Structures are given as C-alpha cells and as structure tokens.
Amino acid sequence: MTPAKAYAAASATSPLASLTIPRRDVTDRDVEIEILFCGICHSDLHQVRNEWADAMPTVYPIVPGHEIVGRVTRVGSGVKTHKAGDLVGVGCLVDSDRTCDACTAGLEQFCPNQTLTFGSPDKHLGGVTFGGYSEKLVVDEHFVLRIPETLDPAGAAPLLCAGITTYSPMRHWGVTERKKVGVIGLGGLGHMGVKFADAFGAHVVVFTTSPDKRDDALRLGADEVVVSRNANEMQQHAGSFDFILDTVSARHDVNAYLILLRLDGALTLVGAPPKPLEVSAFSLIMGRRRLAGSNIGGIAETQEMLHFCGEHGIAADVEVIAIQSVNDAYERLLKSDVKYRFSIDMASLKSEQPRDTVQAHVRVG
C-alpha cells in the first residue's frame, strides 16, 4: 500500500479539501496510473452532497472522480494489454464479477456485483473505493482503456463518463443518418451527445434553458436550438422526434418532451435527478412512445467509443482548472455555467500538503 494525495469531502456540507488516501500495491493483474486529468461529472456533485441518499447513500470521506486519464507507471507481471508509458483512461467501473449474464455480454455496467471507481466497497483495502481527484490509481487491467494519443488528454478525460453515457444509448436506439434526434440540456453529457449525434449523421435539435448557449450548440453540431421555456418553439416540434436523450440533472417536466416524439419514438433518461419525475400516461399511450434509461456503457463499448473519437477527432470542450478551484466549479455546475466540462489538471495537486490521512481498513477475502 502506498499513500496518494487526493481531494475529498468529509460530509455532505463540507467543501472538498486535500487528504492522503491509501492505494493498493500492484497485483499481477493491476495497472498503476499517474492521473493527469480528471473531469468533473454532475454525478460527483450529486454524491458529494449525498443527493442520491435514497438510491445510493454516500460514505464519507468521499474522493469523487470517474473521468480519469493518465499515464501507466507500472504494471503487474500478468498484465498483457498495457505497459508503462501508455496513455490510458478509467471510467466509472473498476471491477465486476465477470461471470453474470451482463458481464458475459460485455455489459459490465449492469453487473449486480460491480465495483464503482468511488464509493463502492473496496475488496483489496476495505472501506470504500476512492476516485480520480487524486494523483494516482491502481486498477485491474480489464477496466483500463486505451486513449488515442492524438486526443488532447484534458478533453479526452470526460469521454470516460460523459462520452460513453451519450454514445451508448444513441448506438442502442439506432441514432443514424436522417433520424431526428433531440438532446435536452447542454452541459457535460449534453454537449457530447450533440457531437455524437452529429457524427452519426442525425438531424440534431438541442433543448436548452440557457438562450446564451444557442451559438455554441450550433458550433458543436446542432442543426436547430429550442429554448425549452418557450412553448411556441416547443410546439413546432410536436410528434416529430425519433429519439430524445434527456441529460438534465434536476427536476423538470419530462412530458413536455415525450409529446415531441413521433410514433414509437423513445426518450432515454441519462440524467439522474434526485427526486422522481412525474409521467402522464397520455404522454406515452398516444403514439406508443417509450420512456427508457441508460447507464454509462460496457468496457468493450467504451473502447469502441474511444476509437471512434480518435478517428473523428472528438473530445470534450473543457475548462481546465486547478484542483484548488473544485469547490467554485461545483457552484458553477449548479448554475449550468460550464463550457462544457471542467477537467482538473492533477499537476495542481502536487503543491498540496494534506494534514489528514485515511488509513486502509482490514484487508478482506
């Protein structure tokens, strides 16, 4: 076990601050990674503030971060797929049981025994796993992705969550040329959804509550922009969409979008507002519409998405920040004021001298 500098929250109301955490010794299947950049996902904020207490209560201290890009510093003796010096990524998953139906189908994101990058029971050290707001990480090779060297690492980091979370449902629900596709919310996930839908050849409409994002939406690949608080603009699209991706992080009226779907159209939630959404039966039964959900993506599909991004030069539009600005960044995220993902430059962690240390718990298993 080795110590690593990190940023953590001690409670739902504490700011993130520096802390020393343990990282396990490299086993024969492990890859040790020096973290270069970590994106800030709205899920980090939901969990730091225990907003998902009903579904997955937060264990403190929490070290968030699951949009990780770094360089391999060391590999275990049995590791075949990565070597020291490689540019790699880690997303939301660091382990799964590899035997269930989901795992054998390459859908580790639905494994009932998965280990999330932060906040899951840590099978090696006890306690819970700690995420990417940290200087290094040790991960089983199966969950380490290759990052195309042509991509800017700061902009590539958000692909590990925002990228795959939007790519996967669009592939699953057949977003292709000539399909009319809506993306609700132009934040971290939303702006990646626009880039992918555009790259797949769809006619892309962005729904936003922020009229000042109109020009950016068009630049990112949208064909049309609708200010969702304008009922007239919304009405013009009634019954016309094949697919709508909903990335909104807060309470909103999903019925206003369901009625924009055409016959057999689908609206997929990837946004995870803490409180339940109300659905009118009439929004669904008129038009045999479908309301669905999607959770990140499997490891093979994440690698496929990264290759696609390398080929098409797709990465997130990022505001690179120092770790010391993370609490301000969270406040801006709450105001929908990010263009369009914060990516933390982990070199900024080097100047920190954490006063507190988390001890490893008793090793289990």
Please give the structure tokens belonging to residue 38.
């970590």
Interatomic CA distance for residues 160 and 309, integer angstroms: 11
Rule CB under 6 A: say whether 271 interacts with ligand NAP: yes
- Residue 249 sits in the site that holds ligand NAP (CB under 6 A): yes
Choice from 61, 64, 70, 185 touching ligand NAP (CB under 6 A): 185
Cβ-based neighbours of 177, under 8 Å, separated by 6 or more: 200, 201, 202
> In sequence order, what DSSP letters do the residues of 2-45 get, joined into one string?
EEEEEEEBSSTTSPPEEEEEEEPPP-TTEEEEEEEEEE--HHHH
The encoded tokens of residue 210 equal 């922020």
CA dist., res. 235 & res. 171, Å (int)? 27
185's contact among Zn ion, ligand NAP, none, with CB below 5 to 8 A by partner kind, is ligand NAP
Q: Which residue has the tokens 């962005």?
A: 206
| Min dist. Cβ of residue 182 to ligand NAP (A) | 12
Q: How far is the CB of 305 from ligand NAP (least distance, A)?
A: 13
Q: What is d(CA 341, CA 319) in angstroms, rounded to the nearest whole number?
A: 6
How big is the CA angle at 117 (ends 114 and 119), to the nearest 5 degrees? 85
**Which stretch in 39-47, 213-221, 287-295, 353-361 sits in contact with Zn ion by CB under 5 A?**
39-47
Residue 102 engages Zn ion in binding (rule: CB under 5 A): no
Please count the residues of this chain forming the interface with ligand NAP, following the rule CB under 6 A. 31
Q: According to CB under 6 A, which residues from 33 to 52 bind ligand NAP?
A: 41-43, 46
Q: Which is nearer to ligand NAP, 59 or 272 (CB)?
A: 272
Alpha-carbon span 51 to 277, nearest angstrom: 15
Candidate list 68, 103, 125, 161; residue touching Zn ion; CB under 5 A: 161
String marking each residue 320-349 x if it binds ligand NAP according to CB under 6 A: -------------x--x-x-----------
Which residues of the shown chain bind Zn ion in the complex (CB under 5 A)? 41, 43, 161
Which residues of the shown chain bind ligand NAP in the complex (CB under 6 A)? 41-43, 46, 161-162, 165, 185-190, 208-210, 213, 247-250, 252, 270-272, 294-296, 333, 336, 338
